[in-house]
Structure 1
Amino acid sequence: MTHDTSSEFARATAVERNGDHSFTADLDAGWKVAGAVNGGYLLGVAGRALRNLRPPTPDPLVISTFYLGPSREGPVDITTRTLREGRSTANCGIELSQNGAPTIAAMATMGNLGELPDDVATTATPPQMPPPEECISVAEASEDFKNAAPIIDRFDMRLDPATAGFAVGKPSGRGLLQGWIRLVDGTDPEPLSLLTFLDAFPPVMFDLGRFNWAPTMELTAHVRALPAPGWIGARISTKNIAGGMFEEDCDLWDSSGRLVAQSRQLARQPRG
């Protein structure tokens, strides 16, 4: 095995090497949403495989993923291809498939976040929201919601009350969600869990009164820094809904106030 078993997340994203460029994994049913395995969890599995390529490339810097079909719990085959190896980064392709049919195809740039320059020049600001203990725990969701999205039990997720009106039938209509997230077992965040956090919150369309699940077509994630221990703050927004699709932007901030990950995904509007 090529994985750490120190946390639930590490066990759930474990991969087993079959060759220099092939792996298998067992997708965990506890990470499902609306009957399919969550796309962010799949990014964590893909990142785990890419991390174990030879020579090792420890961290995902960029990963752009196309979701070709729903993934189910159970065995998955993973194939990788190293396209270029540079002095500080490697460019790789990766595909996950089940029963001979590809479910995701991705391109990634891998590197070492710990060796990046420490300069920061940004106009981005963390979300303004109450501390986690003053936010609404998603653990208080209805049993019907939990049954439809068992993945929420994998996280300690707290929603900013100012953006959680959808939970009581009063969405704000702004297309904005904010909150805090960490793994339910208290494991501190690291680059692979950041990939999963980027697609962990309820769809931003909930804040627009559209409550069905929205399948992701493509998601591009940027991991910008090694996160400090503790809670991760998240801001999820959309500003363009057209042609039966919408974009969802997510920014993740660590406990030191550093922007540590960003993503944009294109998804289909919820049906119904």
Structure 2
Amino acid sequence: MSTSSIESPSAVATSEFDRDTAVTLRESGVYDAELSAGWTIIAAVNGGYLLALLGRALGDHLPHPDPFTISAHYLTPSVPGPAVIRTETVRTGRTLSTGTASLFQYAEDGTELERIRVLASYGDLDTLTDDVRTTATPPAIPPAGQCFSAADNPDPRIPGSSAIVDRLDLRLDPACVGWAVGAPSGKGEMRAWFDLADGRAHDPLSLLLAVDALPPTSFELGLKGWTPTVELTTHVRRRPAPGPLRVSITTRNLAGGFLEEDAEVWDSADRLVAQSRQLARAPRD
């Protein structure tokens, strides 16, 4: 077991993201955590933040350091406050190890409520070869200075908390912000430059956040409100180069009250460093 991902009681992480995703080992495979209100959006704690928190616990529990693939089922909405994460090793191999993790919170009567359950395979990104054969291309986004930040035109018609916005440096592609001025494009697309507001460098854990940190594509489809994630699978492909990330999310099909979101995350070296697909419930007007 590695101990590098656990914040000791006397250590003070310089990044808010690291402090808020810190886990404390209670006993073998069991970790205590505190879900921060700083990562809430509309009605609940953000799913990408939660995925990073569970990813940190699994990275400590498993013998390999980096998430290669992690699939999460969001069972009930998480709220700020104490939580416990229970991890289990499923299999350990030479290059990959697989484990599960569940995050629990407490009802008013003290009983545990399972919020999220994940299955993940971990490896070592530093051992990957440089061989790349791809037809994927980075998203075309205007320079960050020509994009829109949350301060440019926040939309007060979306009720609830938007605390997570203050922890991110998002610069949205002007082609994807029609929703903010009452003129959604009708296209299921969202693109942005992505950084953490405190300047923390990107790593595999921040990639888990990035795939679920942009406004939902449903906004550009003309729907407002909470878009809760049902299931989210993320593939981490490379350790990101220093510098801002570009995130592109698309939806091709909203039907029966559900939609998919396919995300690509590109680093400053034009490498595809993460991919994800999630199923989400469409907002209910």
List aligned pairs for 1:71-220, cutoff 5 A: 71-99=78-106, 100-142=112-154, 144=156, 148-220=161-233
Greater helix proportion: 1
List aligned pairs for 1:48-59, cutoff 5 A: 48-53=56-61, 55=63, 57-59=64-66
Amino acid at match of 2:152: E
Answering whether residue 27 of structure 2 is matched by residue 19 of structure 1, we say yes
Helix, strand or coil for the counterpart of 1:194?
A: helix
Work out the CA distance in 1 between the residues paired with 2:224 and 2:176.
Answer: 14
Q: Over residues 243-267 of structure 1, what are the superposed CA-to-partner deviations in whole Å (9 max), with x where a residue is unaligned?
A: 1100011100000000000110001
Q: Over residues 133-160 of structure 1, what are the superposed CA-to-partner deviations in whole Å (9 max), with x where a residue is unaligned?
A: 1111123343845962111111000001
Work out the CA distance in 2 between the residues paired with 1:251 and 1:109.
Answer: 19
Amino acid at match of 1:64: S
From the superposition, tell whether residues 240 and 137 of structure 1 become closer, same or farther in structure 2 (CA, over 3 Å): same
Answering whether residue 244 of structure 2 is matched by residue 231 of structure 1, we say yes
- Return the match for 2:52 from 35, 44, 50: 44
Give the drift of 1:19.
1.6
Equivalent pairs, count: 271
Give the drift of 1:90.
0.4
Work out the CA distance in 2 between the residues paired with 1:63 and 1:260.
Answer: 14
Amino acid at match of 2:237: R
Work out the CA distance in 2 between the residues paired with 1:153 and 1:173.
Answer: 27
Match of 1:68 in 2: 75
- Return the match for 1:30 from 16, 38, 47: 38
Task: State, as a whole percentage, how many aligned pairs show the same letter.
Answer: 49
Give the drift of 1:6.
2.8
Helix, strand or coil for the counterpart of 1:46?
A: helix
Amino acid at match of 2:131: D
Amino acid at match of 1:113: L
- Give me the CA root mean square deviation: 1.4
Query: Would the aligned equivalents of 2:168 and 2:197 in 1 still touch at CA under 8 Å?
Result: yes
Work out the CA distance in 2 between the residues paired with 1:82 and 1:199.
Answer: 26
Work out the CA distance in 2 between the residues paired with 1:54 and 1:134.
Answer: 43
Give the drift of 1:54.
5.0
From the superposition, tell whether residues 54 and 129 of structure 1 become closer, same or farther in structure 2 (CA, over 3 Å): closer
Q: Over residues 103-141 of structure 1, what are the superposed CA-to-partner deviations in whole Å (9 max), with x where a residue is unaligned?
A: 000100011111111111110011111111111112334
Listed as ranges, the gaps of 5+ residues in structure 2 are 107-111
Work out the CA distance in 2 between the residues paired with 1:138 and 1:36.
Answer: 19
Query: Would the aligned equivalents of 1:146 and 1:152 in 2 still touch at CA under 8 Å?
Result: no
Normalized against structure 2, the TM-score is what?
0.92
Listed as ranges, the gaps of 5+ residues in structure 1 are none
Query: Would the aligned equivalents of 1:139 and 1:157 in 2 still touch at CA under 8 Å?
Result: no
